[in-house]
């Protein structure tokens, strides 16, 4: 793959021709810049150390095996229906593997939060294992600081600039990495892909849907998060193991796929009647929405408000 974990180097973006500054401005500006660069380099080192730490955990082998299993079994199913939707590779054992893209929402602030840093390290290992080029992995979290965005770009990853509210259409086989995210992000993602053609291209590593169902009042799940509510019985969930010392980082996580034979069993009406989620009853909406412009069209990318509770 291009840009393996060992090859990471942080490359700072050029900031254009230096502006002429008054002499009293030069020293603080240079030292701030140097400090920022040191922080970025320090952060990359910490991420690299975390990758090395995770790589020797038994958990990592188990996650890797589950990913490879899931993405090689669903390939025949998705290609049965959609033809040349995604490229495939045969490995030495004759197993057909998908070429995946990856999208990560809600990673969190990995410079200040150890859980998010471990999750980022796991993401990098998964990309390596799934032979997903780092540039084919896009990330967005409104919580990312400018330095964190620099670190991600330095690692070769693609940082999204627009808040899609999780509404990302899968046009190729795609691994969605949504660790411990709010229900609205999962629900929005499911809504956007709510038909057999697109849903069969979706693989999610994130909160186990059956766990969400257990923790949520049934009536509210059906009313507010109807796509999660319907997806629970439709998807295949492989619970991913989590050792007790990493419980805050990887608990309640599953690898979720949508086998085509299950999707095709649903009547056509289940796909056609699929309104966009509105969440008007949710007082504790666990997502940062993009700001609507005054005319009502969702033009701006500024994040509007934050209610992150009970996740």
Ligand X SMILES: C[S@@+](CC[C@H](N)C(=O)[O-])C[C@H]1O[C@@H](n2cnc3c(N)ncnc32)[C@H](O)[C@@H]1O
The CB density around residue 269, as the number of other CB atoms within 10 Å, is 8
248 neighbors 76 (Cβ within 8 angstroms): no
Q: Quick one: tokens of 216?
A: 């949520």
106 binds ligand X (CB under 6 A): yes
Query: Is 187 among the residues that bind ligand X (CB under 6 A)?
Result: no
Q: Does 160 bind ligand X (CB under 6 A)?
A: no
* Residue in 247, 95, 280 with CA at minimum distance from that of residue 180: 247
DSSP state of 196: H
- Tell me how many degrees the CA angle 20-25-26 measures, rounded to the nearest 5: 70
User: Would you count residue 105 as binding ligand X (CB under 6 A)?
Assistant: yes
Least gap, CB of 284 to ligand X (angstroms): 12
For residue 138, state whether it binds ligand X (rule: CB under 6 A).
no
State which residue, 110 or 194, has the beta carbon closest to ligand X: 110
Considering only 77, 101, 136, 141, the residue that binds ligand X (CB under 6 A) is 141
Helix residue ranges per DSSP H, the chain: 23-55, 58-82, 114-129, 146-154, 183-192, 196-199, 209-215, 218-224, 226-231, 247-250, 260-263, 269-272
- The residue within the footprint of ligand X, chosen from 180, 183, 192, 198 (CB under 6 A), is 180
148 part of the interface to ligand X, by CB under 6 A: no
**From 40, 127, 181, 235, residue interacting with ligand X (rule: CB under 6 A):** 181
Decide: is 206 part of the binding site for ligand X (CB under 6 A): no
CB of 56 to ligand X, least distance (A): 22
DSSP conformational letter for 23 = H
Nearer to ligand X, 98 or 188 (CB): 188
Kindly indicate which of the ranges 22-30, 37-45, 69-77, 135-143 contains the residues binding ligand X, using the contact rule CB under 6 A: 135-143
Token pair of 103 as six digits? 């999208």
Total chain residues near ligand X (CB under 6 A) = 23
List Cβ neighbours of 8 (8 Å cut-off, separation of 6 or more).
44, 48, 154, 155, 156
Task: List residues near ligand X by CB under 6 A.
Answer: 105-108, 113, 115-116, 119, 140-143, 163, 165-166, 179-182, 287-288, 308, 311
């Amino acid at each position: 793959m291009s840009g393996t974990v060992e090859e990471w180097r942080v490359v700072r973006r050029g900031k254009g021709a230096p502006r002429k500054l008054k002499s009293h401005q030069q020293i603080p500006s240079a030292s701030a810049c140097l400090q920022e660069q040191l922080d970025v380099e320090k952060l990359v080192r910490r991420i690299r150390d975390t990758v090395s730490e995770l790589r020797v955990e038994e958990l990592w082998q188990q996650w890797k095996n589950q990913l490879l299993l899931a993405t090689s079994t669903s390939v025949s199913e998705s290609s049965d229906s959609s033809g040349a939707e995604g490229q495939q590779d045969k490995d030495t054992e004759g197993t057909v593997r998908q070429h995946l893209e990856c999208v990560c929402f809600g990673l969190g602030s990995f410079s200040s939060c150890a859980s998010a840093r471990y999750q980022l390290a796991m993401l990098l290992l998964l990309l390596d294992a799934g032979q997903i080029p780092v540039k084919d992995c896009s990330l967005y979290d409104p919580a990312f600081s400018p330095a964190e965005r620099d670190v991600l770009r330095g690692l070769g990853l693609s940082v999204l600039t627009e808040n899609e509210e999780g509404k990302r259409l899968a046009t190729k086989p795609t691994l969605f990495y949504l660790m411990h995210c709010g229900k609205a992000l999962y629900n929005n993602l499911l809504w956007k892909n709510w038909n057999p053609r697109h849903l069969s291209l979706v693989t999610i590593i994130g909160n186990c849907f059956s766990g969400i169902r257990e923790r949520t009042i049934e009536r509210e799940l059906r009313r507010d998060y109807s796509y999660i509510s319907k997806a629970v019985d439709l998807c295949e969930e492989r619970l991913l193991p989590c050792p007790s010392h990493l419980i805050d980082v990887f608990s309640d996580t599953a690898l979720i796929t949508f086998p085509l034979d299950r999707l095709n069993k649903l009547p056509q009406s289940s796909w056609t009647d699929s309104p966009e989620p509105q969440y008007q009853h949710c007082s504790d909406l666990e997502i940062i929405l993009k700001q609507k412009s005054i005319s009502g069209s969702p033009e701006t990318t500024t994040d509007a408000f934050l209610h992150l509770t009970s996740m």
